[in-house]
A = this chain, B = another copy of it.
Amino acid sequence: MLSTHSPLARKLGNFVALSESDLAVLDTLHRRRRSFAVGRDLVFQGQTHQAVYILAEGWVCSYKLMRDGSRQIVDFQIPGDFLGLRSVLFRTADHNIEPLTPVEASEVLESELLQTFADTPRLATALLWAASRDEAMVVEHLVGIGRRDARERTAHFLLELSARLTLVGRGTRDGFACPLTQYHLADALGLSSVHVNRVLRELREDGLATFQTGQVTIHDFDRLAELAEFDRAYLDQEGPLLR
């Protein structure tokens, strides 16, 4: 029954048990539907008066540009994720958001959002939880870049994507459809695309996982998780905390 609702409702439902009226409020946030084309950024660093979006369909990445032209992809967002939530709370965007596939998203106004928090504290709690989960992922990403070598980092990245996609029903333990290129991986992992390529070859030759355009296949989940020190505690949730 949750599946008849938006991916966002599905995600939040993992944390707080949502009432019919909560779900109705979530639905009202989905009124202004927008489409975005691949590569046309929908949020720019430094932009003010930015709307928030709830991603309904497609993949995007959020990244920061450096002076020297290189970029660091901070995270990929998939359906059910908020886009630019921080930008509203700070009133100026500190990152860019780029669609990697054609994207469908619902625009939410700042006033609507703040009103929702005030009217529906349960949802505010759920959103706080979602924000914490996002932070946990960024932290894991940080640890990866700081203390894992290229192989471990890549392995961890693939496992995390797999876990997230599985949660919203778009992947399994064996693999998932994935629109990313090796360049995206490089920008996300803090590696050069050349090196990413080598690492992917190694993972493939070792029978751990295959990354090809459009499809990621995980051949040996356990060994991959072992290599990556992957701990899914920070993604799993054994049922709603708030009933």
Any B CB within 8 A of the CB of A150 = no
Is A237's beta carbon under 8 Å from chain B? yes
Tally of chain A residues near chain B (CB < 8 A) = 53
Q: Which of A127-135, A157-165, A193-201 contacts B (4 or more CB under 8 A)?
A: A127-135
Within 8 A of B (CB), among A97-138: 114, 117-119, 121-122, 124-125, 127-129, 131-136, 138
Chain B's closest residue to A87 (CB) is B132
Encoded as 1 (CB less than 8 Å from any B CB) or 0, chain A from 179 to 210 comes to: 00000000001100000000000000000000
Interface segment among A53-61, A88-96, A216-224: the answer is A88-96
Interface check A85, CB cutoff 8 A: yes
Q: List 12 A-B contacts (CB under 8 A).
A: A15-B89, A64-B143, A66-B147, A66-B148, A66-B229, A72-B143, A86-B132, A90-B132, A91-B241, A94-B231, A121-B121, A141-B142
Contacts of A234 in B (CB 8 A): 90, 94
Per the bound structure, the CA–CA distance linking A74 and B85 in Å amounts to 22
Please state the number of chain copies in the assembly.
2
Residue A1 lies at the interface, judged by CB distance under 8 Å to chain B:
no
A2 interfacial contact with B, CB 8 Å: no
**Chain B residues with CB below 8 A from A139, complex form:** 64, 74, 94-95, 138
Residues on the B chain within 8 Å of A138, using CB: 135, 138-139, 142
Provided the pairs A86-B136, A89-B132 are in contact, do residues A146 and B72 lie with their beta carbons within 8 angstroms? yes
